[in-house]
Chain A
Amino acid sequence: MQRYTFNILFFLAAVALVGLAQFGMLDKYALTIITFMGINCIFAVSLNLVNGYMGEFSCGHGGFMCVGAYAGSLISVAFFTDSKLFGSALFPPELAPVLFPLVLLGATLAAALFGLVVALPSFHTRDDYLAIITIAVNYIVISIVENIDAIGGPRGFSGMRKTVNAMSDVVNVPWMLIWTILGLFVCVMTIYRLMTSTYGKGISAVRQNEVAAEIMGINTNRVKIMAFMVSSGLAGLAGALYAHVYGYVNAQAFNILKSTEGLVMVYLGGMGSISGVLLAAVAFTLLTELLRFVIPWLDGVLHAMSLLPAGYELSQIWKWVIIPLILVLLMQFRPEGFLGNRELTQVFPWIKRWITFK
């Protein structure tokens, strides 16, 4: 029974959430935030595979999300809508709910493949060099996308709303919430199962002692490339979901700031801890939303106390002062993150009595 507790709890929570959304008890704003929370979770947990478990420092995770977002959008538009780019729809829109997983799968594979292209040359280097390469890749992806006019260039790309509408026309449920929950489940299960198998523990072995890993018969190059592909593929999944939730993508949404958000979530949660990173992703999403209200409030208060010059308005840009500041404080006082590289079940062993993961 314990074996299934987690799955059952997760399923019940998901049903409850979808139910709340379905019967209008969650307003549209709350629904969007919850969906983005899920997407951020996928994004952060996937980055954690490379930066946490493998101990490398990838700084361009947003680039892979970008590839997934565009690949997913293009597949979606080609499949279900009549467009100038691809001509008439390949499938009738009624099939959208059934075939949507293919869109997500396509985006995941595209991003994983791109991950392979990046990993092949760059994994001859490591540490600082790898960090620099991944930053560069992030910039390259955005420049390339912005310079292809067929997919909208710097104006961005849209049309995915039609796919989402097509799904809602068949059955009117909050589809994107459902897909995000399923995506998150797949993502967490993939990484959890990988990291509890002997095959996946090779990734931890590379972090902890690469020389020992190589001498004990682990093809360290292959392990690194595999981990990087899985990580970038899942970032692509997050990207495709993001594109469909918004109904519009723009390359600048996946720039270095997005990658930094990923890093913040991973280091906030504790490297190499799935539950820690999930907690951090939820907390981080809430925090950024909270700042949306806190900053104008602060602006009002500071003006009332005439601490700010009359012409100056405290804008949302200050988010990017406050969040890095939190990161600096975190590194000062709790450099190992919320949970350090331990899971929730290791920090609170009583959980194990009720839940074992499988």
Chain B
Amino acid sequence: MPLLEISGLTQRFGGIQALSNFSFQMEEHELVGLIGPNGAGKTTVFNIVSGFYASTEGEIVFDGRRINGLKPHRVTAMGMARTFQNIRLWNDMTVLDNIRLARYSWLGYGFLDAVLRTARHGRAEHAVETRAREALEMMDLSECAEELPKNLPYGLQRRVELARALTGNPKLLLLDEPAAGLNSADVEDLIRHIRWIYDEFGISIWMIEHQMKVVMSLCQRLTVINFGSILAEGTPEYIRQHPEVIDAYLGDEKI
């Protein structure tokens, strides 16, 4: 059974057809890329899958359950995490708190426990703290645990967002342009980290990315979309030589 199965996804915003009949499958432990020119509908796909938009038509099955129309926090609780093209961290709380909050769905205590500081609250907070410290450790972020994200360099902010997404123990990680705005040294770091996450956690990763270097060196399979529908699908080798893809997206640039 595939981990994620999308069939016939169609999305209209008023008169604009943002996606038409988009179908896609993803197995467990796969690293797949989604590429295409600006405005092709890549982020729309992610927004629908993670629950921000309800699709006009089509069906999404994740981990054996239909998730159409579920709220984002419910989808997250089922084991899907994502990062954003423009970093979305909580800038007025420490990096550690940012990571802690990723365990929100699994806290297991409520208002009264928090106010009365019950044993259940103590246990849960302890577990959350341990998990968060581990996640920071893994992503080489321990030094900035007490910093505010807005004071960190851009590359580190990206990494904090990645660490936060991982702390929820996802089965599927959606990365929306993780390399956007990074310098080449940071990109190298990012590739290393993503590969390590993929190997270490055995999860599936689906990424949107414009930097061909990232996509070509990481992904086993690529989907290219243009004007909201699939243009080509296949291995990076195949995509690289696909005449229509070169025409619509890659251009003559040597990659």
| Contact, CB under 8 Å: B73 / A217 | yes
Q: Which chain A residue has the least Cβ–Cβ distance from B77?
A: A217
**B17, CB-defined interface residue at 8 Å:** no
Q: Chain A, 191-231, contact with B by CB distance < 8 Å: what is the 0/1 string?
A: 00110011111101100110111111111100000100010
Cα A218 to Cα B168 in complex, Å, equals: 12
**A341, CB-defined interface residue at 8 Å:** yes
Instruction: Give min CB distance, B38 to chain A, whole Å.
Output: 21
Cα A212 to Cα B100 in complex, Å, equals: 13
| Contact, CB under 8 Å: A216 / B111 | no
Instruction: Give min CB distance, B96 to chain A, whole Å.
Output: 11
Residues of A contacting B82 in the complex (Cβ-Cβ under 8 angstroms): 215
**A30, CB-defined interface residue at 8 Å:** no
Q: Which chain B residue has the least Cβ–Cβ distance from A197?
A: B114
One of B101-109, B180-188, B241-249 at the interface: B101-109
| Contact, CB under 8 Å: A341 / B92 | yes
Cα A303 to Cα B92 in complex, Å, equals: 52
Residues of A contacting B121 in the complex (Cβ-Cβ under 8 angstroms): 197
- Indicate which residue in A194, A220, A341 contacts B111 across the interface (CB closer than 8 Å): A194
- Interface size class, chain A: 20 to 34
| Contact, CB under 8 Å: B92 / A193 | no
**B55, CB-defined interface residue at 8 Å:** no
Cα A202 to Cα B104 in complex, Å, equals: 8
Q: Chain B, 86-101, contact with A by CB distance < 8 Å: what is the 0/1 string?
A: 0011111100010011
Q: Chain A, 324-345, contact with B by CB distance < 8 Å: what is the 0/1 string?
A: 0000000000000000010000
Residues of B contacting A204 in the complex (Cβ-Cβ under 8 angstroms): 90, 92-93
A contacts with B: majority SS: helix
Q: Chain A, 211-255, contact with B by CB distance < 8 Å: what is the 0/1 string?
A: 111111111100000100010000000000000000000000000
| Contact, CB under 8 Å: B107 / A216 | no
Cα A216 to Cα B166 in complex, Å, equals: 10
Q: Chain B, 121-154, contact with A by CB distance < 8 Å: what is the 0/1 string?
A: 1001100100000000000000000000000000
**A190, CB-defined interface residue at 8 Å:** yes
Instruction: Give min CB distance, A228 to chain B, whole Å.
Output: 12
**B68, CB-defined interface residue at 8 Å:** no
- Indicate which residue in B50, B92, B103, B128 contacts A215 across the interface (CB closer than 8 Å): B50
Known: A214-B71, A214-B72, A215-B72. A201 touches B115 (CB 8 A): no
**A189, CB-defined interface residue at 8 Å:** yes
Most chain B beta carbons < 10 A, residue from A189, A199, A211, A216: A216
| Contact, CB under 8 Å: B73 / A220 | yes
Known: A189-B115, A216-B164, A218-B104. A201 touches B72 (CB 8 A): no
Known: A198-B101, A200-B114. A218 touches B93 (CB 8 A): no
Cα A207 to Cα B72 in complex, Å, equals: 17
Instruction: Give min CB distance, A356 to chain B, whole Å.
Output: 14
Instruction: Give min CB distance, B118 to chain A, whole Å.
Output: 11
| Contact, CB under 8 Å: B117 / A193 | yes
| Contact, CB under 8 Å: A198 / B125 | yes
- A108-143 at interface with B (beta carbon < 8 Å): none
| Contact, CB under 8 Å: B72 / A202 | no
| Contact, CB under 8 Å: B91 / A205 | no
Residues of A contacting B110 in the complex (Cβ-Cβ under 8 angstroms): 199
Q: Which chain B residue has the least Cβ–Cβ distance from A191?
A: B115
- A161-206 at interface with B (beta carbon < 8 Å): 189-190, 193-194, 197-202, 204-205
| Contact, CB under 8 Å: B88 / A201 | no
Known: A208-B91, A216-B164. A194 touches B114 (CB 8 A): yes
- Indicate which residue in B81, B101, B114, B124 contacts A218 across the interface (CB closer than 8 Å): B101
Residues of A contacting B229 in the complex (Cβ-Cβ under 8 angstroms): none
Residues of B contacting A205 in the complex (Cβ-Cβ under 8 angstroms): 90, 93, 101
- Indicate which residue in B73, B81, B124 contacts A214 across the interface (CB closer than 8 Å): B73
| Contact, CB under 8 Å: B93 / A208 | yes
| Contact, CB under 8 Å: B100 / A201 | yes
Instruction: Give min CB distance, A193 to chain B, whole Å.
Output: 5
Residues of B contacting A213 in the complex (Cβ-Cβ under 8 angstroms): 90, 101
| Contact, CB under 8 Å: A193 / B114 | yes
**B76, CB-defined interface residue at 8 Å:** yes
Instruction: Give min CB distance, B187 to chain A, whole Å.
Output: 23
| Contact, CB under 8 Å: A198 / B107 | yes
| Contact, CB under 8 Å: A198 / B76 | no
| Contact, CB under 8 Å: A190 / B90 | no
Residues of B contacting A190 in the complex (Cβ-Cβ under 8 angstroms): 115
Cα A226 to Cα B105 in complex, Å, equals: 16
| Contact, CB under 8 Å: A199 / B73 | no
Residues of A contacting B125 in the complex (Cβ-Cβ under 8 angstroms): 197-198
Residues of B contacting A230 in the complex (Cβ-Cβ under 8 angstroms): 111
Cα A189 to Cα B107 in complex, Å, equals: 21
| Contact, CB under 8 Å: B90 / A198 | no
Instruction: Give min CB distance, B20 to chain A, whole Å.
Output: 26
20 more CB-based (< 8 A) A-B contacts, given A198-B125, A212-B88: A193-B114, A197-B121, A198-B97, A198-B100, A198-B103, A199-B113, A199-B114, A205-B101, A213-B90, A213-B101, A214-B72, A215-B52, A215-B73, A216-B164, A216-B168, A217-B76, A217-B168, A218-B73, A218-B104, A230-B111
Interface residues of B (CB under 8 A from A): 50, 52, 71-73, 76-77, 81-82, 84, 88-93, 97, 100-105, 107, 109-111, 113-115, 117, 121, 124-125, 128, 164, 168
Can you report 5 A-B residue pairs in the complex whose CB atoms are below 8 A from each other? A193-B117, A198-B100, A211-B88, A217-B105, A226-B111
Interface residues of A (CB under 8 A from B): 189-190, 193-194, 197-202, 204-205, 208-209, 211-220, 226, 230, 341
